[in-house]
Chains A and B, each alone.
Chain A
Amino acid sequence: MSILIDKKTRLLVQGITGGEGSFHTRRCVQYGTNVVAGVTPGKGGTDLDGIPVFNTVERAVAETGANTSIIFVPAAFAADAMLEAAEGGISLVVCITEGIPTLDMVVVQRYLKQKKVRLIGPNCPGLLSPGKSKVGIMSGDIFLEGNVGVVSRSGTLTYEAVSQLTALRIGQSTCVGLGGDPIIGTVFVDALELFQKDRQTEAVVLIGEIGGNQEQIAAEFIRKKMTKPVIAFVAGSSAPPGRRMGHAGAIITGSSGKAQEKIAALEAAGAAIAASPAEIGTTTQKVLASRR
């Protein structure tokens, strides 16, 4: 199984002719993703390595049957690109772009929800189902097909976690990078719900960080609805309050958003806590061993 993306994914790349867009399109194709179309206004009729480029999403969907879109357009145009994808009939939109104004995201998130279009990101590394499909910028060679779902707010920390898992021969079903912005389309609870339903997934690694309270909401879900084990790490225990730690969403405001509160909530909900970011793999190994 896997979640969200698999062999049936027909990918459209918005911003396919740009530097990042073309580079990562080629890497997705290399991984085995079925990239069916690209969109760059003004470049319609051309192609990238044989992948047809269209002026509009509407046209691209009509001609190629694309069902998933990945967005690489600059921040100032990204809100428009997400709305166009939703309007054009795409059911899963993955926005890699970083630096989109929060008030733009307020509008986009609301509209996509009403349209029942799933959004991953923005400001995210995308997702990858090992052996099946990659819709994102994660480096494919560190992944191994298997039964652990990974969901994270961070990109490179996800690579670190995945490489620890792979080194221990613990494979993954799907890895989802949710993104580091304050307003994102898919949150921990959504991903946990999908992993709970997914037959391939046996356990879930959740990687949170300071800021907001999505980890606490996830903890509530774990307590009430999850039967599969969850292994959690929350980054930023040593971060000072009031400072934005790289991600726009990673800021402790007053006493809220602290790592310690999140860890306590997840632990109380029954998640196995990785005490250190270097122990995400070994903690998962212990949890899996205790179930066998």
Chain B
Amino acid sequence: MKAHEYQAKQLLAEFGVPVPRCGVARTPAEAKRIAGELAGEVVIKAQVHAGGRGKAGGIKIVSSPDEAEQAAKAMLGSRLVTHQTGPQGVPVNVVLVTEAIDIERELYLGIVIDNVAGAPVIMASEAGGMDIEEIARTRPEKILKAYVDPTTGIRSYQTRRLAYGLNLKQEQIRPASDIIGNLYKLFQAKDCSLAEINPLAVARDGRLFAVDAKLNFDDNAAYRQKAVADLRDTSQEDPLEVEAKSKGIDNYVKLDGNIGCIVNGAGLAMAVLDLLKQAGGGAANFLDIGTMNDPERVVQAFRILTSDRDVKAVLVNIFGGMARVDIIAQGIVNASKQMEIKVPVVVRLAGTNVEQGERILKDSGLKLVRAYSFKEAAEKAVAAAKKSS
């Protein structure tokens, strides 16, 4: 799960990381008022779950409350299209009005889990403002790292070493070291998967500020992070994904093809996408139906797929293990009774209780396109989608 910049900054401030003075506006009038309170030059920043805001017109520097109002008016209620959003863009419902910092240097600070080390890694770099991947590509020697061993936790020698590595003045070492330590505390306390301050600005007056920040959270920890869950902004997500989640289908990702997919298991679901592409088609979604043995789950999946106007054919590919094929088959039958499925449905079943599943489909008299191997299923789905679109 992602947080907005303004939410990330509120959390950073709570954990003792200095952020520029700022306020959150949902109307142009609010933006004007906050700009008046901050006085001087302020920055209006569109709050969206996407990078590349600056180039897309989502960040404006203004020098008066009236200009702040104008800038906020242009952003609020619009959809921002950046290189990360796709052509439909994402809605701007909130802008952050923040004091403009007179920046001398831009540093990078980030924490992620290093899968190979099996531990969180803190990365710091003097090449701030750039994407970390770009730094890694162009100036890899500029990335300093510190791994946090779970048995010792983070230690001050580590944050100090990183701070010294950033070529700061002696009087900035302590504040920088504290920022690194506090960012780590936030990372751990809130079960983050990514905590990033970029840039960490060194102001001309010598102070340090988190000028932009990004926090992502571990979905697996949602059960113990209720406050984090409240930060979720569904307006930033695909509506079909939001609907799927509300129906208990967590593993649905909208894609740009026209074949709706219902598969059990993440690996198999990914393989189905690959196979469809190789067969000359494209999946409209990734959907892992999971192992809950409940036909209603299948009905809900059909509901999502049939409300997706891109879907020209549905492919159900099930290899029963923990999930039972007969229950999936019953789900397909129930779905066709409860809703009008206008597109062809290709079904391939294998694994646990496949005979019972086949019988259920046969007895139902449903008009389905049947396939008996993985490849056949993909090819028939591609052909069906071409025919009906």
Residues of A at the B interface (CB closer than 8 Å) are 20, 75-76, 99-103, 105-107, 109-111, 113, 125, 137-139, 142, 152-160, 163, 180, 182-183, 207, 209-210, 212-214, 217, 233, 235-240, 242-250, 254-256, 259, 275-278
Interchain CB contact under 8 A, B271 and A160: yes
Interface residues on B, range: 35 or more
**Partner of B374 from A180, A238, A246, A278 at Cβ < 8 Å:** A278
Stretch in contact with the other chain, from B61-69, B165-173, B218-226 = B218-226
A275 proximity list for chain B (CB < 8 A): 278
Given A106-B118, A110-B149, A139-B320: A157 in contact with B271 (beta carbons within 8 A)? yes
| CA–CA, A152 and B288, complex, Å | 17
| Chain B residues, CB < 8 A from A99 | 220
Is B78 an interface position by the 8 A CB rule?
A: no
**Which residues on A sit within 8 Å (CB–CB) of B255?**
240
Bound-state Cα–Cα, A76 to B221, Å: 9
Q: Which of B98-106, B261-269, B307-315 contacts A (4 or more CB under 8 A)?
A: B261-269
Q: Kindly state the separation between the CA atoms of A75 and B221 in the bound complex, as whole angstroms.
A: 9
Say whether B133 contacts A255, CB under 8 Å: yes
List the A side residues contacting B277 at CB < 8 Å: 237-238
Q: Is B91 an interface residue (CB 8 A)?
A: no
Q: Kindly state whether residue B196 has any CB partner on chain A within 8 Å.
A: no
**Nearest-neighbor residue (CB-CB) of A167 within chain B:** B373
Give the docked Cα–Cα distance between A152 and B271 (Å): 13
Question: Is B77 interfacial (CB 8 A cutoff)?
Answer: no
Q: Is the pair B273, A156 in contact by a Cβ cutoff of 8 Å? A: no
4 A-B pairs besides A76-B224, A248-B219, A259-B274 with CB distance below 8 A are A137-B321, A210-B270, A235-B270, A277-B271
Q: Which of B346-378 contact A (CB under 8 A)?
A: 350-352, 373-375, 378
Query: Cβ of A156 and Cβ of B150 under 8 Å apart?
Result: no
B86 to chain A: closest residue by CB? A240
Ordered by A's residue number, 13 sampled pairs between the chains whose C-beta atoms are within 8 Å are: A103-B218, A106-B150, A113-B118, A137-B321, A138-B321, A155-B265, A155-B267, A239-B273, A246-B265, A250-B270, A254-B132, A276-B375, A278-B375
Q: Within the assembled complex, what's the spacing in Å between the Cα atoms of A239 and B224? A: 30
Query: Do the beta carbons of B266 and A103 come within 8 Å of each other?
Result: no
Q: Assess A154 versus B221: contact at CB under 8 Å? Given A106-B120, A139-B351.
A: no
Nearest A residue (CB) for B324: A139
Question: Given the complex of chains A and B, what is the CA–CA distance between A239 and B118 in angstroms?
Answer: 25
Q: How far is the CA of A47 from the CA of B221 in the complex (A)?
A: 33
Which A residue's beta carbon lies closest to that of B84?
Answer: A242
Task: Pick the most buried of A109, A153, A245, A246: most chain B CB atoms within 10 A of its CB.
Answer: A246
CA distance A243 to B223 in the complex (A): 21
CB of B267 within 8 A of CB of A207, answer yes
By a CB distance below 8 angstroms, the chain A residues around B113 are 102-103, 106, 182-183
* Across-interface contacts of A240 in B (CB, < 8 A): 253, 255
Q: Are B275 and A154 in contact (CB under 8 A)?
A: no
Known contacts being A153-B267, A246-B270, is A137 close to B374, with CB within 8 Å? Answer: no
Contact A156 B275 (CB under 8 A): no
Scoring B118, B133, B224, B352 by chain A CB atoms within 10 A of each residue's CB, the highest score goes to B118
CB distance from B78 to the nearest CB of A (A): 23
**Is A154 a contact of B265 with CB atoms below 8 Å?**
yes
In the complex the two chains form, is A238's CB within 8 Å of B268's CB?
Answer: no
Nearest Cβ distance between residue A164 and chain B, in whole angstroms?
8
Decide: A213 near B270, CB < 8 A? Known: A101-B218, A142-B351. no
List 10 tightest A-B contacts by C-beta distance, closest first: A154-B267, A246-B266, A156-B265, A157-B267, A277-B271, A278-B375, A101-B221, A156-B268, A235-B270, A254-B133
B274 touches A236 (CB 8 A): yes
